[in-house]
Structure 1
Amino acid sequence: MTDTLTTAAAPRTMHVRRLGLMSYAGALALQADLVRQRRAGEIPDTLLLLEHPHVITLGSGSHDENVLVSPEERAERGIELFETGRGGDVTYHGPGQLVGYPIFDLKTGRQDLHRYLRDIEDALIGVLGDFGLTGGRKEGLTGVWVDERKLAAIGVRVSSGWITSHGFALNVQTDLSMFGTIIPCGIRDHGVGSLSGELGRTVPLAEAEASAVRWFERIFDRRAAESTG
């Protein structure tokens, strides 16, 4: 008699690309190209990790009154403004903030936008836990919080074929005064925070990146492989 051994399927590969400081326009173009490649099966799931120069982005649910600076002031302060294809309201990106753009194919049993958002939140709550912080959610809101301070914003897009783009922004050593240029995500009654502010020390972006990769591996059952392509 021959025993049959059943083994669990190996985790899918997740390419990780660390891009450093990248313009928002450049990141939009790169995401569009990668979404096309992922849909065609030319690349595996890919996680982009980067920073942006100062930029205000407008999601599909944004309201003009949530941008608090004029075009003249934005130009003077070097802040760009972009309309995006993601969900959500107004947000800010800038140096010292870890931005992650998963280009994932959700067709393998994860075709659920609500679950996808909660999975990203779970990964970021795990990142905060690695630094000794207790992160959580707020009912009816998307993102990750420590007490009344929002440390991570999430805004995603899922295109035809269940391919994801856009993603999350985690304040690591961000200049939080820049959030005074907007009403973040249209939320007036809560503040913003950062890893460095909560811990009272400067957290290197590389530490947050490494933690994010580990948690995306765990939550999404992926095996990370560094990619330079």
Structure 2
Amino acid sequence: MSQASAGAVISPVSERRFRTLRPGRLPYDAALALQEDLLDKRRQFQEDTLILLEHPPVITFGRRAADSHLLLSEGELARRGIEVVRTGRGGDITYHGPGQLVGYPIVDLDPVGRDLHRYLRLLEATLIDALAAFAVTGETVPGKTGVWVEGAKVASVGVAVRRWVSWHGFALNVGDDLSGFSAIVPCGLQGVAMTSLERLLGRPVPLPEVEERVIAAFARVFGSRHAGECEI
């Protein structure tokens, strides 16, 4: 494992800015529609958008996910109030639910050389930077996406690109309830242990506090200025 290096940070681009959009708890389909709308508008504006939200319980399949990585029937999941959605993002299968901070950056990738691999590393570096603000040391695993702490996975990353604008994004486990992950093989990794910021710190962590740390880290890593909030 390795910590993100300073080389993961990109050089500031003249007038590079982003706004945040924080709609609270949003169903997955509504968040998808919101991303689609912002994707269509991105080329009309000079600013990126970082959407930060929570989802009701939902399991999402990435393009590479195997059906065998879902450990319960969709009928049983429906009885438990967990939705199942097949998506166009990269990566395998994951779980989203209350107490998890989900980030959907709508980012023009021209400043990173239209390099998807580099963009993934920048998202990981952003999460590692945010964790460091809580005195938690996050690491990456060669050949895998996401962020680990002491061998357990604390954040997942899965993205998509349209006309070299990114969508989908990352999920950082904040709350202590990780029971939803028991219904899947997280990220398709057999035997992987999941953890959260609250478990690592041994105390509750308000989600708005984590949001602020992620915003500050995103600004530093992407060399972009936070230009405030935008409305839906």
Residue of structure 2 equivalent to 1:113: 116
What percent of counterpart residues are identical?
50
Q: 1:57–1:84: 8 Å Cα contact kept in structure 2?
A: yes
Query: For residue 173 of structure 1, what is the aligned residue in structure 2?
Result: 175
Does 1:18 find its partner at 2:18?
no
Query: How far apart are 1:109 and its partner, in Å?
Result: 4.1
Q: How far, CA to CA, are the matches of 1:216 and 1:71 in structure 2?
A: 36
1:67 counterpart = 2:70: yes
Confirm whether residue 38 of structure 1 aligns to residue 42 of structure 2. yes
Contact 1:172 1:195 in 2 (8 A): yes
SS in 1 for 2:111: coil
TM-score (norm 2): 0.92
Q: Distance in 1 between matches of 2:49 and 2:211?
A: 14
State the structure with bigger RCO (CA 8 A, min sep 6), 1 or 2.
Answer: 2
Name the structure 2 match of 1:212: 214
For 1:34 and 1:172, the matched residues in 2 are separated by 26
Is 2:33 the counterpart of 1:29? yes
| 2:149 aligns with one of 143, 146, 154 | 146
Unaligned runs of 5+ in 2: 1-11
Structure 1 unmatched runs, 5+: 1-7
Distance 2:198 2:105 in 1: 24
CA distance in 2, matches of 1:84, 1:115: 22
Give the TM-score, by structure 1 length: 0.93
CA root-mean-square deviation: 1.3
- Which one of the candidate residues 123, 127, 132 is aligned to 1:124? 127
187, 193, 196: which one pairs with 2:195?
193
CA deviation profile, 1:60-86 (whole Å, cap 9, x unmatched):
000000001112211111000111110
Secondary structure (helix, strand or coil) at the match of 1:108 reads helix
Whichever residue aligns with residue 39 of structure 2, its letter is V
SS in 1 for 2:23: strand
Q: Which runs of 4+ in 1 moved over 2 A?
A: 8-11
- Pick the structure with greater CA Rg: 1
Distance 1:63 1:43 in 2: 38
Number of aligned positions between the proteins? 220
Structure 1 residue 211 displacement after superposition:
0.3
1:183 to 182, 185, 196: 185
Aligned to 1:79: 82
Q: Is the 8 A contact 2:39 2:165 kept in 1?
A: yes
SS of the residue aligned with 2:110? coil
* Offset of residue 19 of structure 1: 1.1
Contact between 1:155 and 1:166, CA under 8 Å: does it hold in 2? Answer: yes
